[in-house]
Chains A and B, each alone.
Chain A
Amino acid sequence: LAKTTQPISMDSYEGQEVNITCSHNNIATNDYITWYQQFPSQGPRFIIQGYKTKVTNEVASLFIPADRKSSTLSLPRVSLSDTAVYYCLVESGWMDSSYKLIFGSGTRLLVRP
């Protein structure tokens, strides 16, 4: 399983764009990159998933360079309600029984007024 490294914490202000970068140097060919958001005392919520280049949905964008050794979650115009912990995960073993997710420490994002 590819280990992920991301900043422990980040601060931002309302209305700003926030970019959280995650490194996953040992990512394998068939692995996907997934980002989750977690609020206190709640289960993680799926944000976005990608394999390469750029993926965009209604809440975020995910940028993955050609070598796939890192990825960047981009949150446009954050609000106070985006204060949460963000986890970057590499999903391995899609097609076999070894599939599982291992959570790293996550990035604690604080959005200030």
Chain B
Amino acid sequence: GAVVSQHPSRVICKSGTSVKIECRSLDFQATTMFWYRQFPKKSLMLMATSNEGSKATYEQGVEKDKFLINHASLTLSTLTVTSAHPEDSSFYICSARGVPTSGVTDTQYFGPGTRLTVL
């Protein structure tokens, strides 16, 4: 149990375009989802926290108009990088915190990540 998927796994786009990344909890309901970004050989940096049906809470320094987060259901959250620029190139990882059930501990389960490259 407790599988989180991300799509796409890798995306290359031109500067100025918008990119949407999906995060799904496949076999549990996620009360809260989180988005992180990670630069090479660096640790994960929390960008925002989202609860289903409410607005995301962004960490200090993260532009909410640039990184749009939607958490439409208990199994799906999306991150849209608007008007992407080369400095937005990074590894984006989502995680989901689920309702504890058999096989699901009350912690965060991470997706495999999405590698974004902006040319």
> Interface residues, chain A, CB within 8 Å of chain B?
32, 34, 36, 41-46, 49, 87, 91, 94, 97, 99-106
Known: A41-B113, A43-B113. A91 touches B46 (CB 8 A): no
> Interface SS of chain A: helix, strand, loop or mixed?
loop
Interface size, B (range)? 20 to 34
Q: Which 7 A-B pairs have the closest CB atoms?
A: A43-B110, A103-B44, A103-B43, A43-B93, A44-B110, A43-B113, A43-B111
- Return the contact of B108 from the options A41, A101, A104 (Cβ within 8 A): A101
Instruction: Give CA–CA (A104, B105) in the complex, Å.
Output: 22
In the bound complex, residues from chain A placing their C-beta under 8 Å from that of B107 are: 32, 34, 46, 49, 91
In the bound complex, residues from chain B placing their C-beta under 8 Å from that of A44 are: 44, 93, 95, 110
Instruction: Give CA–CA (A101, B35) in the complex, Å.
Output: 11
Write the nearest CB–CB distance from B116 to chain A, whole angstroms.
Answer: 12
Instruction: Give CA–CA (A99, B46) in the complex, Å.
Output: 12
In the bound complex, residues from chain A placing their C-beta under 8 Å from that of B7 are: none
Our count of residue pairs bridging A and B at CB distance below 8 angstroms stands at: 55
Q: A44, A46, A99, A105 — which one has the most chain B CB atoms within 10 A of its CB?
A: A44
In the bound complex, residues from chain B placing their C-beta under 8 Å from that of A42 are: 112-113
Task: Beyond A43-B110, A99-B32, A100-B34, list 14 extra A-B contacts (CB 8 Å).
Answer: A32-B107, A41-B115, A44-B95, A44-B110, A46-B2, A87-B43, A94-B106, A97-B57, A99-B97, A100-B49, A101-B34, A103-B44, A105-B43, A106-B43
- Return the contact of B91 from the options A32, A41, A100 (Cβ within 8 A): A41
Chain A, residue nearest B113 (CB): A43
> Interface residues, chain B, CB within 8 Å of chain A?
2, 4, 6, 32, 34, 36, 43-46, 49, 51, 57, 91, 93-95, 97, 105-113, 115
In the bound complex, residues from chain B placing their C-beta under 8 Å from that of A94 are: 106
23 contacts between A and B (CB under 8 A): A32-B107, A42-B112, A43-B4, A43-B6, A43-B95, A43-B110, A43-B112, A44-B44, A44-B93, A44-B95, A45-B110, A46-B107, A46-B109, A87-B44, A91-B107, A99-B97, A100-B34, A101-B34, A101-B108, A102-B46, A103-B36, A103-B43, A106-B43
In the bound complex, residues from chain B placing their C-beta under 8 Å from that of A103 are: 36, 43-46
